[in-house]
């Protein structure tokens, strides 16, 4: 319903993006860029190819000034005066294509980015549960003999608390996740993370192992978060930011009160599109892997924001 409404409203959004964009900052978020087919992402992320990504960057650069993390923080402190509205480019999950595909593009264009990573997956020690689901669905689709006990539609319904079920299903289907990790190496290695840091990119916390936060208790939310931030600090990465995995939907005020009281964070990041949060230091990012180019994505986001503003519902209120 939301997407149909956004499509309808976008038809009336014809203004200049730089002028009509309702906030002073734009926070695009991607996961991966590749010209190759990636089985662990096939059914969970509509990642862009190199040309699509470069076109996005060029389009964004027409309307926004890309900034570094330090410039971003200084902007909010009133110490940095940009030429136009700013954009901080972000990536999630620490996939190896960030080093092999994305970083060379960004270096050539002079654009900074932060990659929010999950320490549990560094050096391909494990595979995020949604990636396991993608591999399982691929196996079912590619099987000459359909497995009647396993419906691919039900696979994506398995949540983080039940993620161990995926290992059992994989075993029945003859899928070896460890072999896939060794062969495909979907995630960045620790040495790659260090190299990216030396090149000037940011590496920051994205939870320990990518749970869906509203499925966790407050205690587990904080434990998973603090554990990831501790790892980032201990390894001299970017320790004053945190991005929620999936979404921050359902995360209550008490979580932020506890987190900001005990951790020296400048900002945390959600992924709800163009919205204002009642938690001033929690900023919302714009998902860019929608199957459309940056221009269309922003047009829909702007139109939807204006519609919600008219209804006085463009601010995220937390219990």
pLDDT digits 0-9 by tens, 180-237: 999 999 999 999 999 999 999 999 999 999 999 999 999 999 999 999 999 999 999 9
What was the pLDDT predicted at 141?
86
Q: How confident is the model at residue 13 (pLDDT cuts 50, 70, 90)?
A: low
Show the tokens assigned to 122.
């560094």
Degrees (nearest 5) of the Cα angle 241, 290, 7? 120
- Average pLDDT along the chain: 94
pTM for this one?
A: 0.95
CATH superfamily of 2-127+188-316: Glycoside hydrolase/deacetylase (3.20.20.370)
- 15-21 long-range CB contacts below 8 Å, 24 or more apart? 16/63, 17/62, 17/63, 17/295, 17/298, 17/299, 17/302, 18/62, 18/63, 18/64, 18/84, 18/85, 20/302, 21/63, 21/64, 21/85, 21/274, 21/298, 21/302
Q: How confident is the model at residue 122 (pLDDT cuts 50, 70, 90)?
A: very high
Mean pLDDT in residue range 138-152:
74
- Evaluate whether 196 touches 102 at the Cβ level (below 8 Å): no
Q: Where are the domains of the chain?
A: 2-127+188-316, 129-185
What was the pLDDT predicted at 6?
63
What was the pLDDT predicted at 143?
75
Residue 238: pLDDT above 60? yes
DSSP assignment of 133-156, as one string?
Answer: HHHHHHHHHH-SS--TT--HHHHT
């Amino acid at each position: 319903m939301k997407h149909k409404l956004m499509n309808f409203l976008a038809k009336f959004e014809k203004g200049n993006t730089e002028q009509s964009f309702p906030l002073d900052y734009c926070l695009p978020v991607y996961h991966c860029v590749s010209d190759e087919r990636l089985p662990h992402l096939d059914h969970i992320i509509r990642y862009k190819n190199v040309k699509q990504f470069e076109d996005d960057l060029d389009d964004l650069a027409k309307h926004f000034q890309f900034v570094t993390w330090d410039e971003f923080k200084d902007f909010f402190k009133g110490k940095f005066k940009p030429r136009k509205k700013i954009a901080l480019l972000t990536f999630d999950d620490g996939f190896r294509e960030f080093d092999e595909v994305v970083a060379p593009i960004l270096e050539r264009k002079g654009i900074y980015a932060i990659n929010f990573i999950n320490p549990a997956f560094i050096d391909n020690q494990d595979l995020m549960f949604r990636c396991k689901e993608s591999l399982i669905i691929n196996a079912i689709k590619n099987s000459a003999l359909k497995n009647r006990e396993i419906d691919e539609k039900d696979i994506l319904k398995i949540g983080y608390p039940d993620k161990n079920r995926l290992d059992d299903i994989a075993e029945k289907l003859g899928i070896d996740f460890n072999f896939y990790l060794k062969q495909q190496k979907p995630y960045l290695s620790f040495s790659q993370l260090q190299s990216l840091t030396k090149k000037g990119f940011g590496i920051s916390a994205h939870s320990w192992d990518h749970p869906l936060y509203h499925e966790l208790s407050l205690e587990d939310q904080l434990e998973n978060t603090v554990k990831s931030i501790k790892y980032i600090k201990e390894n001299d990465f970017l320790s004053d930011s945190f991005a929620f995995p999936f979404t921050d939907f359902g995360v209550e005020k008490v979580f932020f009160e506890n987190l900001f009281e005990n951790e020296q964070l400048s900002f945390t990041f959600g992924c709800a599109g163009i919205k204002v949060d009642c938690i001033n230091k929690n900023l919302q990012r714009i998902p860019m892997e929608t199957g459309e180019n940056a221009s269309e994505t922003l047009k829909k986001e702007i139109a939807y924001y204006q519609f919600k503003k008219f209804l006085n519902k463009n601010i995220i209120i937390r219990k």
